[in-house]
Amino acid sequence: KAGVTQTPRYLIKTRGQQVTLSCSPISGHRSVSWYQQTPGQGLQFLFEYFSETQRNKGNFPGRFSGRQFSNSRSEMNVSTLELGDSALYLCASSAFVTGPETQYFGPGTRLLVL
Amino acid sequence: KNQVEQSPQSLIILEGKNCTLQCNYTVSPFSNLRWYKQDTGRGPVSLTIMTFSENTKSNGRYTATLDADTKQSSLHITASQLSDSASYICVVSARGAGNNRKLIWGLGTSLAVNP
């Protein structure tokens, strides 16, 4: 079974631009979560989508948005990029079950804002 | 406030030695606790998941323990290998209404295994 894939793997943008990152979950997984990881802050939760609906949301400004499609693929968008948005953006998928579920992470998209 | 604290922040050990990483949490209501391993430049990989009723869980040379009374967990690595060099992250899941849950991430312990 293929793992979680993220595209692109690396991205360089300038301040003020916008960016869209893509995530394809493991086949059959309906939950997709997005995280921002920076050296000093660790993993910061952005949002989670399940069946095309945002189920949870972290404490990020409105410049960060996301969506999920009917095939469970997800995109996140960051508008008006700031230098502080430079980070590794990770996507994780999980199969929705009633018990504790394991999240499977993709390799991440490394974004550099100049 | 829900928090997960890990110690030490970083650790250097020699190949073949054992080590123990600590995780203290103040998360309520508790659902489960997970340990992840993250290699540099890669996404985290799940090592173990423990619920309230589980005291210990092993995954090869990795053994996690959970003391729900003191709200502490540890990850013990036996006979370390160079490939164990990574960041180890403790994550606690807080139970919410319905099927909702919130994950609280620790900052991780950076482990370096030297030959």
- pLDDT (tens digit per residue) in B27-47: 888 889 999 999 988 899 999
Residues of B in contact with A3 (CB under 8 A): none
Please give the average per-residue pLDDT across A75-100, as a whole number.
87
When the pLDDT of each residue in chain A is averaged and rounded to a whole number, the result is: 91
B109 touches chain A (CB under 8 A): no
Q: Please state the three-class secondary structure of A26-39 as a single string.
A: CCCCCEEEEEEEEC
| Nearest chain B residue to A101, by CA | B49
Mean pLDDT is lowest, of A19-33, A98-112, B19-33, B37-51, for A98-112
> Which residues neighbour A69 within 8 Å (Cβ) at sequence distance 6 or greater?
A52, A75
Q: Using CA atoms, how far apart are residues B43 and A23, in angstroms rounded to an integer?
A: 13
Residues 6+ apart with CB under 8 A from B50: B32, B33, B34, B56, B57, B64, B66, B73
Alpha-carbon gap, residue A65 to B77, rounded angstroms: 39
Taking CB atoms and an 8 Å cut-off, how many pairs form between chains A and B?
A: 44
Asked whether residue B1 carries a pLDDT value surpassing 90, the answer given is: no
Most B CBs within 10 Å, among A23, A37, A94, to test the B interface: A37
Contact B99 A96 (CB under 8 A): yes
Q: What is the pLDDT of residue A103?
A: 87
Residue B16 has pLDDT above 80, yes or no: yes
Q: Is the peptide bond before B29 cis (omega within 30 degrees of 0)?
A: yes
Segment B56-108, tens digit of pLDDT: 999 999 999 999 999 999 999 999 999 999 999 999 988 776 667 788 899 99
Count of other CB atoms within 10 angstroms of residue A98 = 6
- The pLDDT assigned to A15 comes to 97
Q: Between residues 13 and 52 of chain B, which touch chain A (CB distance below 8 Å)?
A: 31-32, 34, 41-46, 49, 51
Strands B30-38 and A64-68: unpaired
Per-residue confidence (pLDDT) for residue B72, from 0 to 100 = 97
pLDDT tens column, A27-45 = 999 899 999 999 877 889 9
Cβ–Cβ contact A60 with B under 8 A: no
Q: What is the pLDDT, as a whole number, of residue A96?
A: 67
Show residues of chain B in contact with A106, CB under 8 Å. 43
Which token pair is A39?
Answer: 């050296």
In chain B the beta strands, taken as DSSP E runs, fall at 3-7, 10-14, 19-26, 30-38, 45-51, 56-59, 62-67, 72-77, 86-95, 101-105, 109-114
